[in-house]
Structure 1
Amino acid sequence: MPSNNPALASFVESAPPGELLDVTKAIKSILADDPSALQSLTPAFEKYNEEQFATVKLPGGSEEVIVSPHNSLGDGRYYDVASQSSFAFDHATQKASAVQSYVLESSRLDLIKSLLKSLSLHTTEHYPKSSLGVYPIENDSKIAILTVASKYSPNNFWNGRWRSLYIFSPGNGSLAGSLKVDVHYYEDGNVRLLTDKPVSVSLPSSANASEVAKQIAIAERKYQEDLNKAFGSLSEGAFKALRRQLPITRQKIEWEKISGYRLGQDIGGGRSR
């Protein structure tokens, strides 16, 4: 059921990485802690967490697991293959509870476990910290491969998240997905980077988990290199073009004397009338 307050729902769904709880706090102040109004935003919280591949540490667990549409059991419960467990997830507080044993039943279980093993080597090597999920989808005909890596530095006014999603079809060897980067920098303003890079690779129908992991590693390394090049071009070109290094007078403003400047003539370089 959609929220009866589309404006507040849009705030939730567009929250930057690592800042959902801050957005929720602000919404509560607007709603004056009205429980029914906040409850109406539950679909927006669920949509946000599933689309962002929210991660949560299970009670008693040491690793964070993923929340997504691909490992949803319905009624607010999700499962994790590696820990062989299922759990309830509160989308508003981003907390997990009611952990239970869960054994995945799939005809592709061996391939899924092999993919987890091969891909964990890749993520350990290339990400400081990440969570990985591999799930059977579409009646066991395909496999969803998810990686999410988040890094939050609110003391330095930035937060960021990398998400990758691949759909692997063992029957024909197709591997298609997207790479998404979301970074928010908010010191003395707001700057946000949002990217979405499609990926498509054809593998032999006999491709094993190691070959799939190799293609994913190649795609992600290439995208990171492209981003690095783009940042270099921006810093040397577009960013510098956004504003002058100096005023029209070609001299730095002496701010302690600002009250004595004649705006049109001294700062703007114009001629007094």
Structure 2
Amino acid sequence: MIRQFASLCLLFGTAWTTIPQHNGYNVVFSDDFNGDQGSAVDGSKWDHHVPNKNNNDEVQHYTYGTDNAHLSGDGQLYIIPKKKGNDWYSAKLLSVGKWTPGAGKALLFEAEIWVPNFTGSPDKFAGLWPAFWAKGNSDRISNPVKWPKNGEWDILEVTNKMSNQNQATLHFIDASGQHNGAFNGRVTYTGGKYHTWAVKVDRRKDDWKAQTLTWYLDGNQFYQVTGAMIGTLDQWKELAWSPFYIVLNVALGGGYAGNPTENTISGYDASMRVRYVGVYETV
């Protein structure tokens, strides 16, 4: 997975980048976040999600403005949590598009992302919760299917409580009708550096039980779930045959992340930075 650099932009002195190409795959969606410093994300590709109420006992207020999500001017997206008074503000972006692999194909969701260095759980990062994940698009239809029945893939989900560990997780309704979040795998990464995170849903096996969902860090597999592990075809269809959309956000607080404190830093040093997002399907 080689990152391709475009020619130097002489007008601005900026090395614009393009997303990488992968052998055997076509790009079906991409955003390289090239644009003027401080400008908004492309509205044809991303929606801001500003719910009336947070999930998971989170404490942030999501906003529509560029104060909490904007382009860097050098080919990145910044999602920046900020404290104003006693309140925290951040951004949550949902891809307008949604994707699923065709029968006999594989689909890859991928992003190159920087998050703060949580190694050793320093107090200044308490409560931060940056994430790159995907949800089943059936929660956005006219008669929405509520979470977790629509399915969720957590690709990058890191917090200060987890130090330098990322946890990949599936959420769905199992055959007994209960929420199942027990499928998860952790990997160690180096914080404060850019890494490529990806999940691949692979339908190239005729037998659905042999089909897979696989997670990658910098091109190396660190977790995999098969249809056989999920157990029933209906649940596998929910997780692997249905359209999913991408979510990028920085939350604060909640039971998973722990709450921010008076020592939690606000602003650029607490941000999540994204160089590109790409969706790829096998030829």
- TM-score in same-fold range (> 0.5): no
Normalised to the residue count of structure 2, the TM-score between the two structures is 0.30
In our comparison, the structure showing a higher alpha carbon Rg is 1
Larger proportion of strand:
2
Larger proportion of helix:
1
Relative contact order (C-alpha < 8 Å, sep 6+): which is higher?
Answer: 2
Normalised to the residue count of structure 1, the TM-score between the two structures is 0.31
